[in-house]
């Protein structure tokens, strides 16, 4: 079968589900990852014959996509801060908003003398691995409660040739904190979606992304931020700072909690104009 004809068939089957533009982007990602053909090749060499051994995996990918499986899980990777990260359904898919958080951390570090960094709830490891690539001199640690997530994070660290101190740890369990040192930079993109909002999320998120990394009890949506604030009182250096993602509806509540507990704190909008980032430092 001709490559261009197969690509067009692929696109036509996705378009009713995702719309044309998103389907074109998805199809291009799949054909490049699985078929080894980028968009330029598809356009400029329409008569190129697709290899027979590629048809079956491409058809399998199409079937998954038609069931709303995220394309990043289908092809096995996602891009973050210019780096390629392995992903499975054990970890959240890295998102552009988190890159903005990374940029805030990087800017802070460039103007401070920071030595130790911690990422809480690291998932794929995209934040600590990216930080270590940017600043090799930093002593970088990261924790997650999920052993499956840590396997993916460790794989990403190996593929990017960085050394991270990985910890399998339930951050909500304060009995695990005393053995941890002081940190100059602490980041977290913790679970923050109340369980009762599950019904308004996209089907691909609900069906495929790990609920452990998404949801918190609806009666205590700030549970992780309360713990981070408490942790920081003992483990954030006097000149250090916390950088966190948060639910757009709870940003002011998160900031208020940190201020009540002895921090200076502020909110920042993401690229879409949503309140998404909280920065906090110890009051001097």
The contacts of residue 191 (CB under 8 Å, 6+ apart) are 121, 212, 213, 214, 215, 216, 224
Whether residues 108 and 210 share a domain: the answer is yes
Which pLDDT value is given to residue 113? Answer: 82
Whether residues 41 and 154 share a domain: the answer is no
**Residue 42 pLDDT class (50, 70, 90 cuts):** confident
pLDDT at 242 over 90: yes
Which pLDDT value is given to residue 204? Answer: 82
Whether residues 14 and 142 share a domain: the answer is no
Tell me if 199 is assigned to some domain: yes
* Angstrom distance (rounded) from CA 84 to CA 93: 12
Mean pLDDT of 174-196: 95
Mean pLDDT of 198-210: 86
Mean pLDDT of 101-116: 93
Q: What is the domain extent for residue 29?
A: 3-67
Whether residues 242 and 138 share a domain: the answer is yes
Whether residues 85 and 39 share a domain: the answer is no
Whether residues 84 and 205 share a domain: the answer is yes
**Residue 284 pLDDT class (50, 70, 90 cuts):** low
Q: Which residue, of 46, 67, 88, is where some domain finishes? A: 67
pLDDT at 1 over 80: no
The contacts of residue 51 (CB under 8 Å, 6+ apart) are none
Whether residues 16 and 142 share a domain: the answer is no
Contact 104, 118 (CB under 8 A): no
pLDDT at 64 over 70: yes
**Residue 84 pLDDT class (50, 70, 90 cuts):** very high
Tell me if 73 is assigned to some domain: no
Q: Which residue, of 39, 67, 95, is where some domain finishes? A: 67
Count of domains observed in the chain: 2
């Amino acid at each position: 079968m001709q490559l261009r004809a197969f690509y067009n068939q692929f696109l036509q089957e996705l378009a009713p589900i995702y719309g044309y533009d998103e389907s074109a982007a998805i199809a291009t990602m799949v054909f490049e990852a699985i078929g080894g053909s980028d968009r330029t090749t598809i356009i400029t060499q329409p008569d190129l014959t697709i290899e027979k051994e590629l048809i079956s995996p491409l058809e399998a990918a199409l079937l998954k996509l038609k069931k709303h499986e995220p394309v990043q899980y289908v092809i096995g990777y996602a891009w973050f801060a210019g780096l390629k990260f392995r992903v499975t359904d054990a970890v959240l898919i890295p998102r552009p908003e988190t890159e903005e958080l990374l940029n805030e951390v990087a800017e802070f570090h460039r103007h401070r003398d920071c030595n130790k960094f911690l990422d809480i709830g690291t998932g794929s490891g995209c934040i600590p691995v990216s930080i270590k690539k940017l600043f090799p001199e930093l002593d970088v640690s990261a924790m997650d409660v999920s052993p499956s997530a840590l396997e993916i994070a460790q794989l990403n660290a190996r593929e990017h040739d960085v050394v991270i101190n990985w910890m399998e740890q339930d951050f909500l369990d304060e009995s695990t904190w005393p053995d941890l040192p002081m940190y100059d930079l602490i980041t977290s993109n913790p679970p923050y979606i109340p369980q009762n909002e599950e019904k308004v999320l996209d089907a691909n998120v609900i069906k495929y992304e790990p609920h452990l990394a998404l949801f918190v009890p609806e009666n205590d949506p700030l549970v992780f931020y309360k713990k981070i604030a408490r942790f920081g009182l003992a483990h954030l250096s006097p000149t250090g700072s916390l950088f966190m993602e948060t639910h757009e509806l709870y940003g002011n509540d998160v900031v208020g909690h940190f201020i009540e507990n002895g921090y200076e704190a502020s909110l920042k909008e993401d690229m879409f104009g949503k309140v998404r980032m909280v920065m906090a430092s110890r009051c001097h």
